[in-house]
Amino acid sequence: MTLTTETLLLSVAMASAAGLMGAFAVMRRMALASDALSHVALPGIGVALALRVHPALGAMAALGLGAILIWSLEHRTRMPTETIIGVVFSAALAAGSMMASGDELLDVLLGSPVALGLLETAGGIVAAACIIAFVITHKERLVVSLVSADLARTSGIPVEPLELAFLLAFALTVGLGLRYLGVLLMGSLIIIPAASAKYIARSLDGMLRISVALAIGSTLLGEVLASRLHRPSGPLIIAVAASLFFASLLLRPRR
């Protein structure tokens, strides 16, 4: 993908959204969930291809439905989110692989080096802005509910609707990377910078700042390397993020 102003804007917006959502996902111990949730997009893409509509629409619909399914199962069974996501993810992967061909699956999982249209780029930036706005306006509520749902409840926070909103925002973040990084690599961009930030930071604001900075840094550096080496950008972005994670292990301040 060539580096244009639109691409750079989209990259920064997407990485910021991933960094912010990732910070809360990691603190809520949902690290595996993002990879798992990303696979929920597959059957949606399969259905979209069969119906000859834009695959992104099918993927987003499946991700949204997946988030709602996970949320409602969690409330009915009171099982941990990760267990339920694990089950839904395996089922979705099975359904997706029955509906789509091997090449299509690879493109969805790892991204395909296609140029994005203006509409797709603008849509991506708007969606990223919505996610960023959600996290910033709900930061306090998310913090209290991740510490304890009971404390949140007695503080007047509608816990269940907030959890659904978080899962939907999370699904939207995964979906953002669909046409660009691939859902699998987008899951990594959500989790890896946040995991590094959690390891280094000693406060929530510090973690959010570091997570966003690492996500943006990994994305931009990965893109520059990709254009120099003429390789797809997705894997290079994640390789940079992973390298920064290992570097962060050396940077941890004395506690």
Contacts with another protein by CB under 8 A lie at 27, 29, 139-141, 143-144, 147-151, 153-157, 197-199, 201-207, 255
CB of 21 to another protein, least distance (A): 16
Q: Specify the residue, 135 or 238, whose C-beta has the smaller distance to another protein.
A: 135
Q: C-beta of 20: minimal distance to another protein in Å?
A: 14
3-state secondary structure of 117: coil
Least gap, CB of 136 to another protein (angstroms): 12
Whichever of 9 and 27 has its CB closer to another protein, that residue is: 27
Q: How far is the CB of 75 from another protein (least distance, A)?
A: 11
| Cα distance between residue 172 and residue 113, in whole Å | 21
| Rounded-to-integer distance, Cα 112 and Cα 46, Å | 16
Half-sphere exposure of 61 (CA within 13 A, CB side): 12
Residue among 92 and 207 whose Cβ is closer to another protein? 207
Task: Please count the CA atoms within 13 angstroms of the CA of 247 that sit on its side-chain side.
Answer: 9
With respect to another protein, which residue has the nearer C-beta, 188 or 196? 196
**Closest to another protein by CB, 30 or 172:** 30
Q: How far is the CB of 205 from another protein (least distance, A)?
A: 7
Tokens of residue 253, six digits:
């301040």
Smallest distance from another protein to CB 133, Å: 16
* Residue 138 token pair: 């709900």
The least CB distance from residue 206 to another protein, in Å, is 6
Phi, psi of 180 (to 5 degrees): -115, -65
Judged by beta carbon, residue 199 or residue 221, the one nearer another protein is 199
CA 185 to CA 10: how far, in whole Å? 16
Comparing CB distances to another protein, the nearer of 138 and 224 is: 138
- Could you tell me if 72 and 53 are in contact, meaning their C-beta atoms sit under 8 angstroms apart? no
| Token output for 233 | 């950008």
In angstroms, what CA-CA distances link 69 with 109, 223, 235? Answer: 21, 35, 30
As a whole number of angstroms, the distance between CA 89 and CA 243 comes to 27
Q: Which residue has the tokens 């990994």?
A: 218
